[in-house]
Amino acid sequence: MKLHRPLVEAVAEALFQVFEEGKYADKVIERLLKSNPRWGSRDRAFIAENTYEMVRWWRLVTAVDGGRWMVDDETDFDDYVRLVGVHLAMKDPELHFPQANFPEFNGLEARTIAERKNEAASDSRIAQSIPDWLEEVAATELGEKWASEIAALNEPASVVVRANRLKINKLELKNRLLEEGWPTEDTPFAPDALVLQKRGNFFLSKAFQTGLFEVQDAGSQCIAPYLMVEPGMRVVDACAGAGGKSLHLAALMENRGSIISLDTEAWKLEELRKRARRSGVDIIQTRPIESSKTIKRLHGTADRLLLDVPCSGLGTLRRNPDAKWKLSLDFLDRVRATQAEILRSYSKILRPGGQLVYATCSLLPSENEHQVERFLSENPDFQLLEQRTISPAEHGFDGFFMARLLMK
C-alpha cells in the first residue's frame, strides 16, 4: 500500500471533526469529498472507507496506540494523522511507514501494532469497540444475544434501495439500474428491495432523478407494510422525519387516500416534499408540530397511525457507527421518557377500530416491548395484535422493532 499524504490528512481531518467537533460522520465525509473535485474514485473510496472503519473501531484503534494521543486532552491534528497510520497497519501488517513524508509515524512498527491488537482484543468491549456503559446496558437487556448482535452491527451496511411501485416494479428497476451500470442483488426479505453491488454516487443516475427508487434499508422497508394500509385510508405518520416511510405508505396505498406527515423539524418536512414530488406522490400533507394543539386537532381522525419514535438508534450502528460514541446513558433515559409520552399522547389520533404501529430502530427491550407493555397496561382500549423484531445478526439488515396495536 502506497500512502499519499493528502489522503491520509483527509481521513485525519474527518476524524477530527467527528471526535473533536461532534459532527456526524456521514455529513463530514460528504462535505469533505465535495471539497476536492480532483480526487478520483479510488481516492474518494480510500477516504470514505477508512474514515468509517476508524469510527467503527475507534476504541480498538486508540487502545492499540496506547492512548497516548489523549493524555491531558492535548489532542491535536498530528495525533489523528498518527492514528490513521495505526489503523492502516492494523489492516496491513506488511505496511511500510514512509517516515520522511509522515513524521507523525515515527516509532510506529507494524509488528508491534499487531501484538498490541491481539492484547487489546482480549477485552470484548475493546475488541468490539463499544463504550463500557452501552456494553453493560445491552448485555443486561439482551443477554447472550448481544454478542452476535454487536458483531453484526460492526459489519459495514449494504446499500439497499426500494423500488417505487408507483412508477416501476422491482424487476424492471433491477434491469434499469443494470443498464446504468449499477448491478443489484435481489433479497426476499422485503418485496421491493434491491441490494446494490457496488458503491458510488448513484444519486446522479436517471433512475434516481426520475423517482424510480428511494434508498431505504430492507429492515426499514418492513415497517410501512406492517401498518396494513389500503388505498383510500386516512393515515398519520406522526414522526415522519424526511419521510422515507411516508413515501413507502403512499406507494402501498397506490397514491389514493390521505397521509398526514408530522415532525417537530420543519426542514425535514421540506425534504419530504421534494422527495414526494420526485416520486410522483401527491397524497402527502406535511405539518410541523408546533405545539400540543397540532396533535389535538387530529384526535380520533386516523384509520392508521405510524409512531416511528425517536430512539437510541442501536439497530443502525452498521451505517451510523459514530452514534455509539455520541450516545449516553442520560440520553437513553430521556429518549425512553419521550417514547412513552409520544405513545401516550399521539395514540389519541387514532379512531376506534383503527390500528397503530409503534416502531424503533433499537434492539433494546426497554425501548421496545417494555414500552408497549406499559402502554397497554395503562390503556385497556388498546390490544396488541402482533410484534416483530428484525435482528442484524439473524437477518443481515438494520435492526428494528415494530408492534401493531388495535384501538377497540
What pLDDT is stored for residue 92 in this prediction?
Answer: 84
Q: Is the dihedral of CA 374, 380, 381, 386 positive or negative?
A: positive
Can you tell me the mean pLDDT for 25-36?
93
Of the pLDDT bands very low, low, confident and very high (cuts 50, 70, 90), residue 99 is: low
Mean pLDDT, the chain, integer: 94
Query: Do residues 176 and 246 share a domain?
Result: no
Is 154 part of any domain?
A: no
Q: What is the CATH number of the domain that holds 44?
A: 1.10.940
Can you tell me the mean pLDDT for 22-48?
93
Pull the grid cell for residue 388.
416483530
Residue 263 domain boundaries: 220-407
Q: Is the pLDDT confidence value at 70 over 60?
A: no
Which residue, 81, 112, 129, sits at the end of a domain?
Answer: 129
Is 48 part of any domain?
A: yes
Of the pLDDT bands very low, low, confident and very high (cuts 50, 70, 90), residue 361 is: very high
What pLDDT is stored for residue 74 in this prediction?
Answer: 62
Is 152 part of any domain?
A: no
113 and 89 Cβ atoms separated by less than 8 Å: yes
What pLDDT is stored for residue 67 in this prediction?
Answer: 62
Q: What is the CATH number of the domain that holds 207?
A: 3.30.70.1170
Query: Do residues 209 and 224 share a domain?
Result: no
Can you tell me the mean pLDDT for 86-110?
79
Is 348 part of any domain?
A: yes
Which residue, 215, 237, 257, sits at the end of a domain?
Answer: 215
Query: Do residues 184 and 286 share a domain?
Result: no
What pLDDT is stored for residue 98 in this prediction?
Answer: 63
* 3 burial type by CB count under 10 A (0-12 exposed, 13-18 middle, 19+ buried): middle
Q: Is the pLDDT confidence value at 165 over 60?
A: yes
Which residue, 107, 129, 151, sits at the end of a domain?
Answer: 129
CA distance 100 to 157: 37
Query: Do residues 226 and 352 share a domain?
Result: yes
Query: Do residues 307 and 174 share a domain?
Result: no
Can you tell me the mean pLDDT for 119-139?
94
Query: Do residues 310 and 202 share a domain?
Result: no
Of the pLDDT bands very low, low, confident and very high (cuts 50, 70, 90), residue 115 is: confident
- 3-class SS of residue 278: helix
Report pTM: 0.94
Is 384 part of any domain?
A: yes
Query: Do residues 236 and 365 share a domain?
Result: yes
Can you tell me the mean pLDDT for 49-64?
95
Percentage above 70 pLDDT, the chain:
97
Query: Do residues 28 and 166 share a domain?
Result: no
Can you tell me the mean pLDDT for 238-248?
97
Query: Do residues 264 and 164 share a domain?
Result: no
Q: Is the pLDDT confidence value at 71 over 50?
A: no
Q: What is the CATH number of the domain that holds 244?
A: 3.40.50.150
Of the pLDDT bands very low, low, confident and very high (cuts 50, 70, 90), residue 94 is: confident
User: Domain tally for the chain?
Assistant: 3
- 3-class SS of residue 334: helix
To which residue does cell 387530529 refer? 298
Mutual angle of helices 329-346 and 132-142, in 10-degree steps: 50
Strand order in the sheet with 184-186: 184-186, 193-196, 160-163, 213-215
What pLDDT is stored for residue 151 in this prediction?
Answer: 97
What pLDDT is stored for residue 72 in this prediction?
Answer: 47
Query: Do residues 201 and 234 share a domain?
Result: no
Query: Do residues 171 and 263 share a domain?
Result: no
* Measured CA angle at 311 (ends 305, 312), to 5 deg: 160
Is 230 part of any domain?
A: yes
Query: Do residues 71 and 171 share a domain?
Result: no
Give the tens place of pLDDT for each residue, 379-388: 999 999 999 9
Is 352 part of any domain?
A: yes
Quote the DSSP letter at residue 348: G
Q: What is the DSSP string of 184-237?
A: EEE-TTSTTEEEESS-S-GGGSHHHHTTSEEE--TTGGGHHHHT---TT-EEEE
What pLDDT is stored for residue 407 in this prediction?
Answer: 98
Is 117 part of any domain?
A: yes
CA distance 140 to 146: 9
